[in-house]
């Protein structure tokens, strides 16, 4: 039976897919677990280490059980989970609600209860559950409900990450299925255009975020620099400015923060972006309020995101999606601050970590192309 309240804030972790595709094994996972601790990622909040598609054999065994690929995982999956747990991390695995996974390995369709029991026996804490090869007679809602039920019955707390891609109005029914996160877009690519398209398409899903179930905008491509082995994902890479904007968007929009780069060899800048405590605090704020968007007059490629925080502060993100630097201007009355009240906003810069004093009536930072400025603000008097 389920015992813990899971996903009270967006889950944070690392997943093998973006960088390693089908090319990973036990050693890579052990080294990644070590790196999660040594690089300070666990301390920053990244607790799940998740292996994605391609971990099993192409067929089930005679008893209908999933079989780990012995070349990749000679010690089996339990040994991997044990190692991950010994580092203070949690362990995640992947399956699919259809007859096959997206890469053609056995899916969990009509094996849900037996697979959930197998995962629980291995010590799995998180299941990414995909949406490929689903029999047309079965709705996605039925199959996610079924796996949720199987996991809740498995005797272990296993977070269900529904990789549903935003079809069948998933936001309408996913929370009631029992799942903890839901993918709402096609797969991310390591390119600015993909980041921009996903962020722009997800504003309307903000109201469906909240403790217990979050809109998953897909795994982070921060720090990949076009070097991943996954040909679908790695299509060019981004600049550090763009990766920083990507991270700030996902954080402010309450998406799970699941790292997709090779964390054994992160650049200093990648590590700085991914472990920025001021930005992570916005994502992990206990109230999990959604943000809203204020458009900037005359420049549709610039906007401000406003997210109320549980301590009474506000997160303000000034974003510039255009190809040239731009002033992004916010009049405080557009977020409800009455001029007659006579108060301004005290700004703390979430990138430089400096307090900047009080701004009155408006604030208009110049923001680099594809860049952002993010602040934690409180209402204040001079
Ligand atoms: C789908 C998912 C991806 C990844 C692959 C694995 O495309 O959306 O995140 O899990 O399947 O095959």
CA of 16 to the centre of ligand 1 (A): 11
Catalytic site residue from 22, 25, 157, 187? 187
Nearest atom of ligand 1 to the alpha carbon of 218: 9
Q: Is the pLDDT of residue 129 over 70?
A: yes
At 4, the pLDDT band (50, 70, 90 cuts) reads confident
Q: Is the CB of 53 under 6 A from ligand 1?
A: yes
Handedness of CA 277, 278, 279, 284 (dihedral sign): positive
For residue 242, is pLDDT > 70?
yes
The pLDDT score that the predictor gives to residue 163 is 98
CA distance 192 to 263: 21
Average pLDDT rounded to a whole number, residues 315-328: 98
Whether 339 shows a pLDDT value over 90: the answer reads no
What number is the average pLDDT over the span 292-304? Answer: 95
CA of residue 95 to ligand 1 center, whole Å? 10
The pairing of beta strand 90-96 with beta strand 48-50? parallel
DSSP conformational letter for 77:
H
| Predicted TM-score of the model (pTM) | 0.98
| 352-371 tens-digit pLDDT | 999 999 999 999 999 999 99
**Closest Cα to atom 11, ligand 1: which residue?**
102
- In short, whether 103's Cβ falls inside 6 Å of ligand 1 is yes
pLDDT in tens, 252-279: 999 999 999 999 999 999 999 999 999 9
| Nearest ligand 1 atom, CA 219 | 9
pLDDT at 347: 98
Nearest atom in ligand 1 to the alpha carbon of residue 101 is: 12
Residue 2 has a pLDDT of 64
**What number is the average pLDDT over the span 325-346?**
92
Residue 341 has pLDDT above 90, yes or no: no
Do residues 233 and 187 make contact, with C-beta atoms less than 8 angstroms apart? Answer: yes
Would you say 131 and 137 are in contact if contact means Cβ atoms under 8 Å apart?
A: no
- Structure confidence by residue, pLDDT tens digits, 177-213: 999 999 999 999 999 999 999 999 999 999 999 999 9
48 CB within 6 A, ligand 1 = no
- Ligand 1 centroid from CA 187, angstroms: 7
Q: Which atom of ligand 1 is nearest to the CA of 163?
A: 8
Whether 225 lines ligand 1, by a CB cut-off of 6 Å, is no
Question: Is 262 one of the catalytic residues?
Answer: no
pLDDT higher than 90, residue 3:
no
Is position 278 annotated as part of the catalytic site? no
Give the mean pLDDT of the chain.
96
Mean pLDDT, rounded, for 335-350: 92
């Amino acid at each position: 039976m389920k015992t813990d309240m899971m996903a009270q804030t967006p889950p944070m972790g690392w997943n093998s897919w973006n960088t390693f595709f089908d090319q990973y094994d036990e050693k890579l996972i052990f080294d990644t677990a070590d790196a999660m601790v040594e690089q300070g990622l666990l301390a920053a909040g990244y607790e799940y280490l998740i292996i994605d598609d391609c971990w099993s054999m192409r067929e089930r065994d005679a008893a209908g059980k999933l079989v780990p690929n012995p070349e990749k995982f000679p010690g089996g999956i339990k040994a991997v989970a044990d190692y991950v747990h010994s580092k203070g991390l949690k362990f995640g695995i992947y399956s699919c609600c259809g007859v096959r996974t997206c890469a053609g390995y056995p899916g969990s369709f009509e094996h849900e209860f037996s697979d959930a029991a197998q995962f629980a026996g291995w010590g799995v804490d998180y299941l990414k559950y995909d949406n490929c090869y689903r029999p047309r007679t079965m709705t996605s809602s039925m199959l996610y409900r079924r796996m949720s039920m199987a996991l809740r019955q498995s005797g272990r707390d296993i977070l269900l990450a529904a990789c549903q891609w935003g079809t069948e109005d998933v936001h309408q029914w996913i929370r009631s299925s029992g799942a903890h996160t839901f993918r709402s877009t096609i797969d991310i690519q390591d390119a600015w255009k993909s980041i921009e398209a996903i962020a722009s398409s997800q504003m309307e899903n903000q109201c469906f975020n909240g403790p217990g179930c979050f809109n998953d905008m897909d795994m982070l491509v921060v720090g990949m620099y076009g070097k991943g082995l996954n040909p679908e994902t790695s299509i060019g890479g981004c600049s550090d400015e763009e990766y920083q904007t990507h991270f700030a968007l996902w954080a402010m929009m309450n998406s799970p923060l699941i790292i997709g780069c090779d964390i054994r060899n992160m650049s200093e800048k990648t590590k700085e972006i991914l472990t920025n405590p001021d930005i992570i605090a916005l994502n992990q704020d206990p109230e999990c309020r959604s943000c809203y968007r204020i458009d900037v007059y005359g420049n549709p490629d610039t906007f401000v995101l406003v997210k109320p925080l549980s301590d009474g502060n506000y997160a303000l993100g000034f974003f510039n999606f255009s190809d040239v630097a731009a002033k992004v201007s916010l009049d405080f009355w557009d977020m409800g601050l009455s001029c007659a009240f006579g108060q301004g906003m005290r700004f703390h810069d979430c990138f430089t970590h400096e307090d900047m004093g009080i701004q009155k009536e408006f604030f208009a930072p110049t923001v680099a192309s594809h860049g952002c400025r993010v602040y934690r603000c409180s209402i204040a008097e001079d």
